[in-house]
Chains A and B, each alone.
Chain A
Amino acid sequence: MNGPVGTSAERVDGPARVSGGYRYLGDIRLPDVLHAKLVTLDCARARIRSIDASAARRVPGVVQVLTAADLPQPVPRFGPQFRDRPVLAVAETKYHGEPVAAVAAETLAAAEDAARLIRVEYEELPAVCTIAAALAQGAPLVQDPALRLGDPLANTNVLQEHRYAWGDTETAASDLIVAGTYTFPMVTHFAIERHGCIAARDGDGITIWSTIQHPFWLQRTIAELLSLPLAKVRVVAPDPGGGFGGKQHAKYEPLVAFMAMRAGRPVRLILTLEETFQAVRRTSAQVRVRTGFRADGAITFREVDADYLLGAYADIADRLVSKGSYVSCGPYRIPAARIVARSILSHTLPSTAFRGFGAPQPLWASESNMDEAARALGIDPVELRLRNLARRGEQFIPGDTPADGAWEQTVRKAAELVGWGTPVPAGRGRGIAVGIKPGPTTGLSYATVRLLADGSVVMSSGTSDMGQGARTVYVQIAAEELGVPMDRITLLMGDTAVVCYDQQTSASRSTVLMGNAITYACREVQAQLRTMAARHCQVDESAIEVARGVVRLPDRQIPIGEFVRLGLGRLGGEVIGIGESRKEHVPGHPLSGSPVFFEFNCTAVDAEVDAETGDILLVRHVTVSDVGKAINPMQVRGQDEGAAIQGLGHTLMEQYILDESGRISNLGALDYRIPTSMDLPLQLCSDVVENADGPGPYGAKGMSEGALLCVAPAVAAAVTDATGAVIRDLPLTAERVWRALSTPAADSSPTATATAAADEQRRCADGT
Chain B
Amino acid sequence: MQSFGYEHPEWLGQAVDLLRTHRPHARPLAGGTDLVNRLRDGTLRPHVVVDLKGIAELRPGITQADGRLWISATTVLADLVADERMRTHFPALVTAAGVVGPVQIRNRATLAGNICNASPAADTAPPLLVYRAQVIARGPAGTRSIPIDAFFLGPGKTTLARDELVTAIELPVRDRPVQAAFGRLTRRRGADLATVSVCVSVDGTGSTRIGYGAVGPRPLLATDDSGVLADPATDPATRTSLLARLARATSPVSDVRASQEYRRSMLLVLSQRVLRAAVIGEGEG
Chain A positions near chain B (C-beta within 8 angstroms): 109, 112-113, 116, 612-613, 615, 652-653, 657, 665-666, 670-671, 673, 675-679, 733-735, 738-739
Q: Out of A109, A113, A613, A678, which one reaches B185, CB within 8 Å? A: A613
Q: Are A653 and B42 in contact (CB under 8 A)?
A: no
Closest residue to B263 on the A side, CB-wise? A735
> Given contacts A671-B256, A679-B189, is CB(A612)–CB(B269) below 8 Å?
yes
A665 to B257 Cα, complex, angstroms: 11
Task: For A675, list chain B residues within 8 Å (CB).
Answer: 188, 190
Q: Out of B189, B256, B258, which one reaches A678, CB within 8 Å? A: B189
Q: Out of B2, B3, B258, B269, which one reaches A735, CB within 8 Å? A: B258
Task: For A739, list chain B residues within 8 Å (CB).
Answer: 262
> Given contacts A109-B1, A670-B193, A671-B257, is CB(A653)–CB(B188) below 8 Å?
yes
Q: Are A666 and B256 in contact (CB under 8 A)?
A: yes
> Given contacts A613-B266, A738-B262, is CB(A679)–CB(B188) below 8 Å?
yes
B259 within 8 A of A: yes
A652 to B187 Cα, complex, angstroms: 9
B57 within 8 A of A: no
Q: Are B262 and A657 in contact (CB under 8 A)?
A: no
Complex A-B: 24 CB contacts under 8 Å: A109-B2, A112-B1, A112-B2, A116-B42, A615-B185, A652-B188, A653-B188, A665-B256, A670-B193, A671-B257, A673-B187, A673-B188, A673-B192, A675-B190, A676-B188, A676-B189, A676-B191, A678-B189, A678-B190, A679-B190, A734-B185, A734-B187, A735-B262, A739-B262
Report which residue of B2, B42, B188, B266 has the largest number of chain A beta carbons within 10 angstroms of its beta carbon: B188
Task: For B258, list chain A residues within 8 Å (CB).
Answer: 735
Q: Are B256 and A113 in contact (CB under 8 A)?
A: no
B205 within 8 A of A: no
Task: For A665, list chain B residues within 8 Å (CB).
Answer: 256
CB distance from B218 to the nearest CB of A (A): 20
CB distance from A179 to the nearest CB of B (A): 29
CB distance from A657 to the nearest CB of B (A): 5
CB distance from A381 to the nearest CB of B (A): 28
A653 to B192 Cα, complex, angstroms: 12
Q: Out of B3, B190, B193, B269, which one reaches A109, CB within 8 Å? A: B3
Task: For A670, list chain B residues within 8 Å (CB).
Answer: 193
B104 within 8 A of A: no
A679 to B192 Cα, complex, angstroms: 11
Task: For B191, list chain A residues within 8 Å (CB).
Answer: 676, 678
Closest residue to A738 on the B side, CB-wise? B262
> Given contacts A112-B42, A116-B42, is CB(A738)–CB(B265) below 8 Å?
yes
Closest residue to B265 on the A side, CB-wise? A738
CB distance from B119 to the nearest CB of A (A): 11
A657 to B188 Cα, complex, angstroms: 17
A419 to B257 Cα, complex, angstroms: 35
Q: Are B187 and A733 in contact (CB under 8 A)?
A: yes
A738 to B265 Cα, complex, angstroms: 10
Interface size band for B: 20 to 34
Closest residue to A731 on the B side, CB-wise? B187
Task: For B265, list chain A residues within 8 Å (CB).
Answer: 738
Closest residue to B102 on the A side, CB-wise? A676
Report which residue of B1, B187, B193 has the largest number of chain A beta carbons within 10 angstroms of its beta carbon: B187
A494 to B188 Cα, complex, angstroms: 37
Task: For B190, list chain A residues within 8 Å (CB).
Answer: 675-679
Q: Are B188 and A735 in contact (CB under 8 A)?
A: no
Q: Are B256 and A657 in contact (CB under 8 A)?
A: yes
Which 7 pairs between the two chains have the least Cβ-Cβ distance? A676-B190, A678-B190, A678-B189, A666-B256, A735-B262, A612-B269, A671-B256
A113 to B1 Cα, complex, angstroms: 9
Q: Are A113 and B266 in contact (CB under 8 A)?
A: no
A670 to B40 Cα, complex, angstroms: 15
Which chain B residues in 219-265 approach chain A with CB under 8 Å?
Answer: 256-259, 262, 265
Task: For B2, list chain A residues within 8 Å (CB).
Answer: 109, 112-113
CB distance from A656 to the nearest CB of B (A): 10
Report which residue of A109, A113, A735 has the largest number of chain B beta carbons within 10 angstroms of its beta carbon: A735
Told that A112-B2, A613-B185, A657-B256 touch, could you supply 19 new A-B pairs with CB distance under 8 A? A109-B1, A112-B42, A113-B2, A116-B42, A653-B188, A671-B256, A671-B257, A673-B188, A676-B189, A676-B190, A677-B190, A678-B188, A678-B189, A678-B190, A679-B188, A679-B190, A734-B185, A738-B262, A738-B265
Which chain B residues in 70-85 approach chain A with CB under 8 Å?
Answer: none
Task: For A116, list chain B residues within 8 Å (CB).
Answer: 42
CB distance from B114 to the nearest CB of A (A): 15
A109 to B266 Cα, complex, angstroms: 44
Task: For A112, list chain B residues within 8 Å (CB).
Answer: 1-2, 42
A739 to B1 Cα, complex, angstroms: 43
Task: For B269, list chain A residues within 8 Å (CB).
Answer: 612-613
Closest residue to B273 on the A side, CB-wise? A612
Task: For A113, list chain B residues within 8 Å (CB).
Answer: 2
CB distance from B241 to the nearest CB of A (A): 17
Q: Are A653 and B189 in contact (CB under 8 A)?
A: no
Task: For A653, list chain B residues within 8 Å (CB).
Answer: 187-188
Task: For A615, list chain B residues within 8 Å (CB).
Answer: 185
CB distance from B169 to the nearest CB of A (A): 25
Task: For A679, list chain B residues within 8 Å (CB).
Answer: 188-190
A116 to B192 Cα, complex, angstroms: 30
CB distance from B253 to the nearest CB of A (A): 13
Task: For A109, list chain B residues within 8 Å (CB).
Answer: 1-3
Which chain B residues in 144-196 approach chain A with CB under 8 Å?
Answer: 185, 187-193
CB distance from A671 to the nearest CB of B (A): 5
Task: For A666, list chain B residues within 8 Å (CB).
Answer: 256
Closest residue to A680 on the B side, CB-wise? B189
A678 to B190 Cα, complex, angstroms: 5
A612 to B276 Cα, complex, angstroms: 15
**B29-61 interface mask toward A, CB cutoff 8 Å, 1 = contact, 0 = none?**
000000000000010000000000000000000
Task: For A676, list chain B residues within 8 Å (CB).
Answer: 188-191
A677 to B190 Cα, complex, angstroms: 7
Task: For A735, list chain B residues within 8 Å (CB).
Answer: 258-259, 262
CB distance from A162 to the nearest CB of B (A): 34
A615 to B192 Cα, complex, angstroms: 15
Closest residue to A648 on the B side, CB-wise? B188
A368 to B149 Cα, complex, angstroms: 50
CB distance from B72 to the nearest CB of A (A): 28
A679 to B190 Cα, complex, angstroms: 6
Closest residue to A615 on the B side, CB-wise? B185
Task: For A733, list chain B residues within 8 Å (CB).
Answer: 187
**B264-283 interface mask toward A, CB cutoff 8 Å, 1 = contact, 0 = none?**
01100100000000000000
A113 to B257 Cα, complex, angstroms: 31
CB distance from A756 to the nearest CB of B (A): 31
A112 to B188 Cα, complex, angstroms: 33
Closest residue to A657 on the B side, CB-wise? B256
Report which residue of A613, A665, A679 has the largest number of chain B beta carbons within 10 angstroms of its beta carbon: A613
Closest residue to B258 on the A side, CB-wise? A735
Task: For A671, list chain B residues within 8 Å (CB).
Answer: 256-257
A612 to B192 Cα, complex, angstroms: 20
CB distance from B10 to the nearest CB of A (A): 29
A739 to B265 Cα, complex, angstroms: 11
Task: For B185, list chain A residues within 8 Å (CB).
Answer: 613, 615, 734
CB distance from B235 to the nearest CB of A (A): 19
Task: For A673, list chain B residues within 8 Å (CB).
Answer: 187-188, 192
A657 to B257 Cα, complex, angstroms: 10
A679 to B191 Cα, complex, angstroms: 10
Closest residue to A670 on the B side, CB-wise? B193
CB distance from B117 to the nearest CB of A (A): 13
CB distance from B146 to the nearest CB of A (A): 28
A767 to B73 Cα, complex, angstroms: 51
